[in-house]
Amino acid sequence: MTGAPLPEPAASPTATDAGVRSTQRAPRPRWRETLGLLARNPTAAIAAAVLVLLVLMAVFDETVAPDGPNEISVDDRLQAPSWAHPFGTDDLGRDILSRVVLGAGVSLRVGFLAVAFALVVGALVGLLAGFYGRWVDDVLMRFMDVLFAFPAVLLAIAVLAVRGPGAGNTALAIGIVYVPVFARVTRASVLGVREEVYVRASRSVGASDWRLLTRHVLPNAAPPIIVQTSISLAFAVLAEAALSFLGLGTQPPNPSWGLMLAEGRGFIDIAWWLAFFPGMAIFLTVLCFNLLGDGLRDVLDPRQRTLMAGGGR
Amino acid sequence: MRTNRLLPLAAAAALLLSACGGGESVDTGGGGGGSGGEGGTLVAAVAAQPDQLDPHQTTAYPSFQVLENVYDTLVVPNAEDLTMEPSLAESWETSEDGLTWTFTLREGVTFHDGSEFDSADVVYSYRRIIDEELQNSYRFATVTGVEAPDPRTVVLTLSQPTPNLLERIGAFKGMAILPENAAEDIDLVTEANGTGPFRLESSDASSTVLTAYEDHWGGAPSVGGVEFRYITEPAAALTALQNGEVQWTDNVPPQQIESLADDDSVELQTTPSVDYWYLSMNYARPPFDNRDVRRAISLAVDREAVAEAAWFGAAQANQTAIPEDSFFHLDYAPFERDVDQARQLLSQAGVQTPLTMGLMVTDEFPETVTAAQVIASQLEEIGVTVEIETLDFATWLDRQGQGDFDAFYLGWLGNLDPAAYYQEQHQTDGPNNYQGYSNPQVDQLLQQGAVETDEDARKQLYDQAAQIIVDDVSYLYLYNPDVVQAWAPGLQGYRIRADKAIDFATVELP
């Protein structure tokens, strides 16, 4: 069992507003219930555990890594994995384990920043579009459609071409690419919630738009957005790797998994470990975010939720 | 897509050599049936597509790889020692005062379209370069007249003695002889009409195809044609060679050199090249205008380690530009890595550490990225923080031209003459003096060297100039790499050359 690195999800949807739903369950906080359910899903729990480990590794990178990431020693180049260098050394004699550890920080930071940007901007756009409808919806969503029409990596490359390479710009580029995804998911979810009885009731007693949005609509529209966040993190890590692979993301000598993969590519015949370990790191991270996303989807789906939690209460 | 440019651009670019040629370009449409005779087609894997096929305009090495086999120059570097030998010119004479050079042209030479080669073609070609101020016009800096008294004679008149005139007009195919009015008659960017052993059949985004020119003055080539196939990824080029898809490549990953030595499916050869790689700091950006700062950085760099990292043993560290095999090599290595002394120099210069230095490199030449990382880790030890900026080559060149850099890392390829190694790069306001170096003493020595006709005296002058350049760290010289090429076992008649000219005229397929 483990704590999932969830963004603080929607608080209890209804309990605080009197009379909205008379059938309301006992006030066990919803996020705790969610965690409990998640813990019963072994795949998602393991994925979450691995991700927590990764985050810890990224936070304490300097302590965890055996060597500095950029300590070059040409004499020790291309050494196969051994006790001294569990993942071997690269073409400049740098310890690959250290670089994978430090690369985690780069990859995750870019991933989280990108998704945070996409989440905030996209959810806001989707919320407004879904809630107000009419011309607001048209204007915002058509603009999102334009962004969405570009192939993702191409759009990111275009952004980087304008702003120049580097980790910060990479995060921004990936973030922009995922804004329309969040906007669409949020809007669809909001459309479903907007006409619910509790929303109409709240409006009828004079609640402001702001209160409606923050207290009723957003919390109840949140589950798909949370799932999308987890899945997008997977894509963001992958996109960072792809952009760095193409030389547009993280710049050498700083370690990034994608960049290490690109550098290791030329050595695959004679030193497989250069590309293998960063490749594994990307694979594991992306897989875990995806599994966690799947787990969350199951847990947060109201019907599944009833099914799973049902007997227990 | 990457187009490997000739780093040196204008100046040094003494590239390829080749034979003669003639003839019109070929329509690129048709079925591409080789017009060649007995032999089959040699397929050569090269790293990139030619940017264009006008020999007077291009600076790209991939273009010269092709043009080497299509065009000729009056004289050509000998494969053995790179001294100039007759090509389209059979012989030449120099006047007493060294100001008039008379060339006697070869007879019976035809262009690929069948027209006769004569002195008017030479005058046309040289005037085109001079009058239109094309890429290589600097090579004619001392030429005041190009005349053709008769069809077999060309006379060049000079403003001052120019001992390296033959190198200037023959070092590479940038000085190719085109048929008269070629620029009006055909589109030189996509078509060709040379006197070389091969004629251009077609050129597209995947390959350039040449067919043997049977009437070549030096005799028809042994193969029926050559296909230059672009394979960007070195590992893929090597695999293609091992599979027999291609018979020749120069796109060999340096890290594989060692393992290929025992590989029977590949014939690998290396030879020291005439190229050099260097780091250059911007004199307009303090504190890099301070000689002590530059010397400190030079002291902190371990050239052996950089060469080893970038070339896996296939490069020789060097503190001057000219490689060991050259007559003009100077054995001068004042910088022995010394971190303490370097730190001391920095503090003497009143520099606050950590000092940040941007280092501009380009993924066009991956070795610059590798070398920069090694240099960064070495300079870290003296408190200089190197920020590596990896740029595409167009941006890189643009920023170099604008002087928008702290430091950059690049190489010059294909130089043959000491003037080409030093003059344009280190003379005050020289066309390739992007760092902004200016030393009157060096200017004077370079000036004297340019007109000195006695070889030994000339070497003395350039030796002195080179010492000052190295001491002042106008360039921080690092190494001379090897030429590395590989071909199918049994391929005969091909010669690997220090100037990286690729001449397939005499090659025979296994």
Ordered by start, the domain boundaries in chain B are: 75-185, 276-483
**Is residue A27 one of the residues assigned to a domain?**
no
Alpha helix (H) residue ranges in B269-405 = 291-300, 303-311, 339-348, 366-380, 393-402
- pLDDT given for residue A302 in this prediction: 63
Distances (CA, A) of B420 to A19, B412, B496: 89, 10, 22
Give the residue-averaged pLDDT of A288-301.
86
- pLDDT given for residue B232 in this prediction: 86
Tell me the three-class secondary structure of B318-335, residue by residue. CCCCCCCCCCCCCCCCCC
- Rounded CA-CA distance B286/B295 in Å is 14
CATH class for the domain made up of B75-185: alpha beta
CA distance A126 to chain B (A): 38
**Chains A–B, number of C-beta pairs less than 8 Å apart:** 51
- The pLDDT confidence band at residue A288, using thresholds 50, 70 and 90, is very high
For the domain that residue A138 is a member of, what is the CATH number?
1.10.3720.10
- pLDDT given for residue B445 in this prediction: 96
**Of A8-22, A83-97, B366-380, the least confident:** A8-22
Over pLDDT 70: what percentage of chain A? 87
Nearest to A71 among B256, B259, B377 (CB): B377
Give the residue-averaged pLDDT of B228-257.
91
- pLDDT given for residue A71 in this prediction: 79
8 Å CB contact of B256 and A71: no
Q: β-strand B84-86 against B75-77: which pairing, if any?
A: antiparallel
Higher pLDDT, B133 or A37: B133
* Residue from A70, A71, A73, A74 whose CB has the most chain B CBs within 10 Å, to mutate: A74
Above 80 in pLDDT, residue A304?
Answer: no
- pLDDT given for residue A106 in this prediction: 87
Higher pLDDT, B28 or B136: B136
> Cβ(B126)–Cβ(B55) under 8 Å?
no
- Rounded CA-CA distance B34/B212 in Å is 8
Higher pLDDT, B35 or B377: B377
Q: β-strand B315-317 against B153-158: which pairing, if any?
A: unpaired
8 Å CB contact of A267 and B308: no
- pLDDT given for residue A27 in this prediction: 56
Above 80 in pLDDT, residue B8?
Answer: no
Above 70 in pLDDT, residue B31?
Answer: no
A170 is in which domain, residue-wise?
Answer: 69-312
Above 50 in pLDDT, residue B29?
Answer: no
Give the residue-averaged pLDDT of B232-257.
90
- pLDDT given for residue A19 in this prediction: 43
- pLDDT given for residue B228 in this prediction: 96
- pLDDT given for residue A305 in this prediction: 58
Give the residue-averaged pLDDT of A9-26.
45
Distances (CA, A) of B505 to B68, B110, B359, B502: 10, 16, 42, 9
CA distance A55 to chain B (A): 27
In angstroms, what is the C-alpha Rg of chain B? 23
Domain B276-483 has CATH 3.30.2130.10: no
User: Considering only CB atoms, which residues of chain A are within 8 Å of chain B?
Assistant: 70-72, 74, 77-78, 91-92, 165, 247, 251-253, 265-270
Above 80 in pLDDT, residue A18?
Answer: no
List residues bridging with B416 in a β-sheet. Answer: none
- pLDDT given for residue B295 in this prediction: 96
- Rounded CA-CA distance B63/B52 in Å is 6
- Rounded CA-CA distance B217/B291 in Å is 54
**Is residue A139 one of the residues assigned to a domain?**
yes
Above 50 in pLDDT, residue B367?
Answer: yes
Residues of B in contact with A78 (CB under 8 A): 255
**Of A116-130, A149-163, B73-87, B473-487, the least confident:** A149-163
Above 90 in pLDDT, residue A303?
Answer: no
Instruction: Report which residue type is found at A160.
Output: L
B466-504 per-position pLDDT tens digit: 999 999 999 999 999 999 999 999 999 999 999 999 999
**Is residue A200 one of the residues assigned to a domain?**
yes
Our count of domains for chain A comes to: 1
Higher pLDDT, B26 or B212: B212
Over pLDDT 90: what percentage of chain B? 75
Q: Please state the ipTM of this predicted complex.
A: 0.71
Residues of A in contact with B308 (CB under 8 A): 74
B413-438 per-position pLDDT tens digit: 888 899 989 998 999 998 889 999 99
**Of A242-256, A293-307, B177-191, B221-235, the least confident:** A293-307
Above 50 in pLDDT, residue A16?
Answer: no
Above 80 in pLDDT, residue A26?
Answer: no
Per-residue DSSP letters for A217-266? IHHHHHHHHHHHHHHHHHHHHHHHHHHHHTTSSSPTTS--HHHHHHHHHT
Higher pLDDT, B344 or B5: B344
B154-182 per-position pLDDT tens digit: 999 999 999 999 999 999 999 999 999 99
**Is residue A39 one of the residues assigned to a domain?**
no
Above 60 in pLDDT, residue B5?
Answer: no
- pLDDT given for residue B38 in this prediction: 54
A81-118 per-position pLDDT tens digit: 888 888 988 888 899 999 999 888 888 999 999 999 99
- Rounded CA-CA distance A177/B175 in Å is 50
Nearest 5°: the CA angle B149, B125, B67 is: 135
Nearest to B255 among A72, A251, A270 (CB): A270
Q: Using the 8-state DSSP alphabet, how is residue A213 labeled?
A: I
- pLDDT given for residue B304 in this prediction: 93
Average pLDDT, chain B: 88
- pLDDT given for residue A62 in this prediction: 77
A241-285 per-position pLDDT tens digit: 888 888 788 888 888 898 898 888 888 888 899 999 999 999 999
Average pLDDT, chain A: 82
Residues of B in contact with A163 (CB under 8 A): none
Burial (CB count within 10 angstroms: exposed 0-12, middle 13-18, buried 19+), residue A204: exposed
- pLDDT given for residue B210 in this prediction: 96
Q: Is residue B263 less than 8 Å (CB to CB) from chain A?
A: no
Residues of B in contact with A166 (CB under 8 A): none
- pLDDT given for residue A13 in this prediction: 43
| Shortest CA distance from B307: residue in chain A | A74
Of B166, B158, B163, which Cα lies nearest the Cα of B454? B163
N residues, chain B: 510
